[in-house]
Structure 1
Amino acid sequence: MTTRARPAPAARTGRAREPAQATPAPVHYDVRAASLHGHRFAVQITIDRPAAVQRVSLPAWIPGSYLIREFARHLQPLQATQGRTACACVQIDKASWDIECDPRRPLVLRYEVYAFDNSVRTAWLDAERGFFNGTSLLLRVHGHERQPHELTVHPVRQRRDWQLATAMAPVAVDAQGFGRYRAADYDELVDHPVEMGTLWSGTFTAAGVPHRFVVAGAPAAFDGERLLRDTQKICETAIRFWHGARRPPHDRYLFMLNVVHEGYGGLEHHASTALICGRADLPRHDAPADAARVGDGYVTLLGLISHEYFHTWNVKRLRPAEFERYDYQSENYTRLLWFFEGFTSYYDDLLLRRAGLLDDAGYLKLLTKTANQVLQAPGRQVQSVAQASFDAWLRYYRPDENTPNSTVSYYTKGALVALCFDLTLRHETEHTLDDAMRALWRRCRGGPMTEGDFAAVMAELGGRSFAREIADWVHGTAELPLKALLESQGVKALEEPSQLAQTLGLRVAENGGITLKVVLDGGPAAEAGMAAGDEWLGVELPAARTKGSATHTAGWRLTRLDELPLFAGKARRVVALVARDKRLLRLPMVLPEKSTTWRLAPKNGSDAHPWPGR
């Protein structure tokens, strides 16, 4: 394991999937920074043998993020030439063009792309950093998608200190990583994001495979050595999970982390991942060395790394049959995201435990959080995880104030479904969900799979049909048998008082006042008639008789939700004073006596058991 102030030449990141070749590819892309302050990349495409009417298009979405994002809205005028002859570009829809040309001569396309989305999904360019996914920048040349593609990224003239990192196979690159890269086809080309900037860089080897980690925007206190050590443990644990002592299917891997003030997210790729986190989540030189005492933010970052690395197998290779070939122009529907995202969410934290980066208490704390996220959302009784998977294009990336009431997360409930299958196998057989995952890998040869494949593997390992569980847990909305299954493994679900907001059925924002963000169905706030967007100004108590005087009503101004018990006292009936669209409303409310939430803990005196450590 080593770290360097400057990155190794790109060729050292691992063996190329396809041997470097001097022969030019039929489609070649040149990318330059056109304007750092204007946030624009310039792209030139050379098509060696175009069609007489050559169609090109820009993807509308990026695999792994299931929302039509309309990347073409950032593409600035497309121009086409053959030598000095201009060719007509006719736009035929929102993201496609036809170009009339001479098929005997190379066709050159030129355009610019505005890049100012500081996420893992699109593209970014300013004076400090550059980043892009091919789906945001690189037009697809129809009819040539399965031929080799080359990409040349030129050094940034204004920033000679910048380096470039990508997992794409290098052909001819300089010491800082700029130069020419090659991909077997268009799918591979756009599955290798590119990071540019003044990067912290480190390397390690896991199961004989070279891994590189680059970080943009790290502060001075960043402990890169610890991040490398912990990430190496995650990678080695994941590789052992899938392959034991055998080598994994990838021969190199690259982590790209963008550090910002506040942010969180990741997107998986074939041999790399793009990550984003807040500066406070990074490991620091002054942090405790004990893995069990690291901060919650760093644990969250490690869980993100574990999640995206697990996707190297579970969605990038073993994947829904519907994703065997991507349609980049429209939605690609599947009902299996509960498996590919949910099961990955189950294993991301579990592998942290197995890697020694969490103890049992830390793992159960994370599992408690997942369970409560599902149990506190009324939408779990409305939508199944299979339907949530299908509706991802409509709902998951477009949350609103009614989302918790109408939908369920295929990430969180999918993780609990995985837990239920795992604990059922452990309780009834000598097998585990680990065995099922590896059996699926073998059955589907690390490629497309269906729900039927999962059902067949579970039946084989379990010695019985799991059709009822799949119907109830995956396609139904009944409560999962979490308590009984956890107790079978020595874990008890303790009922503890929930936070006041959850007791009232609210999610609020507090900044000198109380603004309702979400009103949960069936809660006291919903029964009182409160609505998202209301400002909760105060509370009135029932009329009371005081000594020597008539009855009177007490009213109190609320600036924080936790002031309500102070002012309400033992009263169970109050009147909430709210402002809605500049109108003042008096809403009678019945306050519940109590509400509970879960806390998972080992049963007192329980014997040692193999879960979650094995």
Structure 2
Amino acid sequence: MKFLFPIFLFGSMLCAQTNRYEISFDNAVHHEAVVQGTFPELKTDTVAFRMSRSSPGRYALHEFGKNVYAFKAIDSKGKVLEVLRPDPYQWLVTGHDGTITISYILFANRGGGTYSQVDETHAHLNIPATFMYAPALEDRKIEVDFKVREDLKWKVATQMPLVSGTTYSAPNLYYFMDSPTEISNFSVREFEVEDHGKKQKIRFVLHHNGTEEELDAYFENVKKVVLAEREVYGELPDFDYGTYTFLACYVPNASGDGMEHRNSTILTSTRSLANGGAEGNIGTVSHEFFHAWNVERIRPKGLEPFDFEKANMTGALWFAEGFTSYYTRLNLCRAGIISPEAYIESITGTFNYVWNSPARQFFNPIEMSYQAPFVDAATTVDPVNRENTFISYYSYGSVLGLALDLSLRVENLNLDDFMKFVWNAYGKSEKPYTLDNLQQALADYAGRNFADTFFDNYIYKSGMPDYKLLLKTVGVTLAQDAEDPYFGASVSLNGDGHGEIRSNPKMGTPAYVAGLDKGDEITAINGQGFPDGQHFSTYIQGLKVGDTLKITFNRYGVQKETNVVLASNPKYRLFLLEKEGAKVSKKQLRHRSEWLKKGGSD
């Protein structure tokens, strides 16, 4: 196998054999598609056909073969061929005459970035979840004819180039697998961006139930996001075929998701553009488009070559996903879509999640990244202890990105210019990087001592940067309230006047120390009934730090008692200094303005 997206060798492509697929949707009402694939000029007697177990942009296994049935294989004369099943993921076909045509039915009913969905509103296709492939034929050109439902006014949108009609092509298997496709009665908006004399097209495809006026207004914000993110890197990537396509489905039957691809991205949400949906959905636009640089081209070596037959793992997701998450809302602020105050306050939840987690004693950001195959939309049935052992690499990397950006600005540098540096060193050439490469790049940009201090303390270890000092440089306060009482577990009413602990108490919290556990049913507090008609958190707010609560609870049908001593709430608050009447210096305001309203150096 080779890199997922090799530079196109058009000369060799012209003489290569072509594998052809067609897919139809006559039974869309029952979420079925019929897929047919023809593979000519075969040189071996036995050919393996597989359904992928993983998908570009995802790190866990998803076992797409579970939704395939009615598989058949014939040769060029219509002879039915023998099919063997050596494992759940592949079909071995033998006895052909040089050509094999396969066919099968696909059940598809999850419209997001990982799976496919077929119904009478659309055919929303993630290619690995839809099309069987022959690993031995990975270098062949592919053509696929999407048999659209003309009665439903369907059209086709994809990053693949058009051949004719509804037939599109890919130069090889890997480009094909990375080319999600939306087939529906969608609307389109587009604009051109020029870099260094070269114009490229940005297309926004939207399948929704709203109005054209809502789309027009939303598209203006999409354009602002694109231009703000181009400012970070100084240029757009060199998109294949000169076009980047957003494939958005904002419909009730979708599943909320976003998934980056080389020249396109999937954006799905149950929220329409009305009633706050536009504001709620734009963050995914920002996150996924930033991936056009960071992940798609600035690519961790651990993801190359991408393996469709197993989970894919890298220790760099704190950078690839986390730094992208840092820029997600920062760029919304820079684009004028959200206010500086709203941006600062939005950091609070992520900041608390990361720095109040006991998981840092077990794993550093690299090791958190290694957890991706277990948490990236992975499905298991046995309980896990994620509350105490895992911090999302999206969130961990995001707050580390904040720390690195503000630390660089103290040195009259900035994260934007470091991202440009990495882009020029690894992204433009599409040379996959290692963690050592990242550390060396930071040393080349900011100095060896700076880079080693950051990596040694915060990447290879789980130290916490001095955020209070760093945030002060931009006029932001980081504070905790020592008088705010804290119980340490999520408790909710269960309908009979009792309260149930809904999650694993975090290590070291009052509830954890008292021996309470997820599933315990609290029946009385200090001999009184559970607070009636009150949220448990509101009840706790009426008490004081140091108060002792005698908790009566049921566990496995047995009544038990314990004492919980309320502690100080470890929650942090981030807010602008001036919000609570503090004086902000001109220097702090200047640094804040450079951070929130401007990209890197001119």
TM category (shorter chain) comes to 0.7 to 0.9
- Does the alignment pair 1:343 with 2:330? no
Aligned partners of 1:224 and 1:283 also within 8 Å: no
**Aligned amino acid, residue 612 of structure 1:** L
| One of 472, 476, 480 as aligned partner of 1:487 | 472
Question: Could you tell me how far apart the structure 2 residues matched to 1:108 and 1:128 are?
Answer: 29
| One of 542, 546, 551 as aligned partner of 1:576 | 551
Superposed CA offset, 1:275-294 (max 9, x none): 122326x355xxxxxxxxxx
3-state SS in 2 of match to 1:319: coil
**Aligned amino acid, residue 456 of structure 2:** A
Question: Could you tell me how far apart the structure 1 residues matched to 2:237 and 2:54 are?
Answer: 32
Superposed CA offset, 1:373-396 (max 9, x none): 212322133221100111211245
Aligned partners of 1:36 and 1:126 also within 8 Å: yes
Aligned partners of 1:226 and 1:283 also within 8 Å: no
1:247, distance to aligned residue in structure 2 (A) = 6.8
Superposed CA offset, 1:276-320 (max 9, x none): 22326x355xxxxxxxxxx6x644422211110010111111101
Superposed CA offset, 1:54-94 (max 9, x none): 11111101121111011111111321101221111111222
- Does the alignment pair 1:223 with 2:208? no
1:107, distance to aligned residue in structure 2 (A) = 1.2
Distance change in 2, residues 1:353/1:567 (3 Å): closer
| Structure 1 range deviating more: 180-189 or 131-140 | 131-140
Q: Aligned Cα RMSD in Å?
A: 2.8
Partner of 2:24: 32
Distance change in 2, residues 1:108/1:509 (3 Å): farther
| One of 432, 436, 441 as aligned partner of 2:418 | 436
**Aligned amino acid, residue 327 of structure 1:** D
1:330, distance to aligned residue in structure 2 (A) = 0.8
**Aligned amino acid, residue 86 of structure 2:** I
Distance change in 2, residues 1:558/1:591 (3 Å): farther
| One of 259, 264, 275 as aligned partner of 2:250 | 259
Aligned partners of 1:536 and 1:576 also within 8 Å: yes
Identify unmatched segments of 5+ residues in structure 2. Answer: 1-7
Question: Could you tell me how far apart the structure 2 residues matched to 1:109 and 1:396 are?
Answer: 32
1:43, distance to aligned residue in structure 2 (A) = 0.6
Q: So what's the TM-score if we normalise by structure 1?
A: 0.85
- Does the alignment pair 1:314 with 2:308? no
Aligned partners of 2:32 and 2:105 also within 8 Å: yes
Superposed CA offset, 1:328-380 (max 9, x none): 10122211111100111111112112222222212212222321221232213
Aligned partners of 1:539 and 1:558 also within 8 Å: no
3-state SS in 1 of match to 2:517: coil
Partner of 1:590: 565
- Does the alignment pair 1:186 with 2:179? no
**Aligned amino acid, residue 452 of structure 1:** D
Aligned partners of 1:333 and 1:390 also within 8 Å: yes
Question: Could you tell me how far apart the structure 2 residues matched to 1:499 and 1:265 are?
Answer: 36
- Does the alignment pair 1:100 with 2:94? yes
Question: Could you tell me how far apart the structure 2 residues matched to 1:269 and 1:25 are?
Answer: 25
Question: Could you tell me how far apart the structure 1 residues matched to 2:521 and 2:104 are?
Answer: 48
Distance change in 2, residues 1:587/1:183 (3 Å): same
**Aligned amino acid, residue 535 of structure 1:** E
Aligned partners of 1:41 and 1:113 also within 8 Å: yes
1:263, distance to aligned residue in structure 2 (A) = 5.1
3-state SS in 2 of match to 1:414: helix
**Would you say how many aligned residue pairs link Structure 1 and Structure 2?**
563
Partner of 1:356: 336
Distance change in 2, residues 1:590/1:112 (3 Å): same
| Structure 1 range deviating more: 338-347 or 512-521 | 512-521
Q: So what's the TM-score if we normalise by structure 2?
A: 0.87
Structure 1 or 2: larger helix share? 2
Map residues 530-545 of structure 1 onto 2, 5 A cutoff: 530-541=516-527
Superposed CA offset, 1:199-249 (max 9, x none): 2332233333222222233345971111100001111222232234x7744
| Structure 1 range deviating more: 405-414 or 317-326 | 317-326
Partner of 2:5: none
| Structure 1 range deviating more: 48-57 or 582-591 | 582-591
1:520, distance to aligned residue in structure 2 (A) = 1.4
3-state SS in 1 of match to 2:470: helix
Partner of 2:36: 44
| Structure 1 range deviating more: 226-235 or 470-479 | 470-479
| Structure 1 range deviating more: 491-500 or 198-207 | 491-500
| One of 358, 368, 371 as aligned partner of 1:388 | 368
Aligned partners of 2:69 and 2:105 also within 8 Å: yes
Question: Could you tell me how far apart the structure 2 residues matched to 1:225 and 1:305 are?
Answer: 15
**Aligned amino acid, residue 469 of structure 2:** A
- Does the alignment pair 1:125 with 2:118? yes
Superposed CA offset, 1:392-431 (max 9, x none): 1124545966212111111111111122222222212x32
3-state SS in 1 of match to 2:137: coil
3-state SS in 2 of match to 1:188: helix
| One of 192, 201, 209 as aligned partner of 2:200 | 209
Partner of 2:3: none
- Does the alignment pair 1:167 with 2:159? yes
Partner of 2:575: 600
3-state SS in 1 of match to 2:232: helix
- Does the alignment pair 1:323 with 2:313? no
3-state SS in 2 of match to 1:121: coil
Map residues 183-582 of structure 1 onto 2, 5 A cutoff: 183-207=170-194, 208-219=199-210, 223-244=214-235, 248-250=238-240, 251-261=242-252, 264-279=256-271, 282-283=273-274, 298-398=278-378, 402-428=385-411, 430-444=412-426, 445-465=429-449, 466-496=451-481, 503-510=486-493, 512=495, 514-518=499-503, 519-541=505-527, 554-558=528-532, 560-562=535-537, 564-565=539-540, 572-582=547-557
| Structure 1 range deviating more: 46-55 or 367-376 | 367-376
Aligned partners of 2:523 and 2:529 also within 8 Å: no
Identify unmatched segments of 5+ residues in structure 1. Answer: 1-15, 174-178, 285-294, 542-553
Aligned partners of 1:17 and 1:169 also within 8 Å: no
Distance change in 2, residues 1:18/1:117 (3 Å): farther
Question: Could you tell me how far apart the structure 2 residues matched to 1:409 and 1:240 are?
Answer: 27
Superposed CA offset, 1:532-562 (max 9, x none): 1223333125xxxxxxxxxxxx444545314
Aligned partners of 2:205 and 2:247 also within 8 Å: yes
3-state SS in 2 of match to 1:367: helix
- Does the alignment pair 1:611 with 2:595? yes
Question: Could you tell me how far apart the structure 2 residues matched to 1:562 and 1:421 are?
Answer: 35
**Aligned amino acid, residue 92 of structure 1:** P
Question: Could you tell me how far apart the structure 2 residues matched to 1:328 and 1:219 are?
Answer: 37
Superposed CA offset, 1:167-226 (max 9, x none): 2110002xxxxx100001111111111112232332233333222222233345971111
3-state SS in 1 of match to 2:338: coil
Aligned partners of 1:203 and 1:213 also within 8 Å: yes
Question: Could you tell me how far apart the structure 2 residues matched to 1:568 and 1:454 are?
Answer: 48
Question: Could you tell me how far apart the structure 2 residues matched to 1:122 and 1:411 are?
Answer: 21
Aligned partners of 2:484 and 2:569 also within 8 Å: no
Question: Could you tell me how far apart the structure 2 residues matched to 1:138 and 1:263 are?
Answer: 21
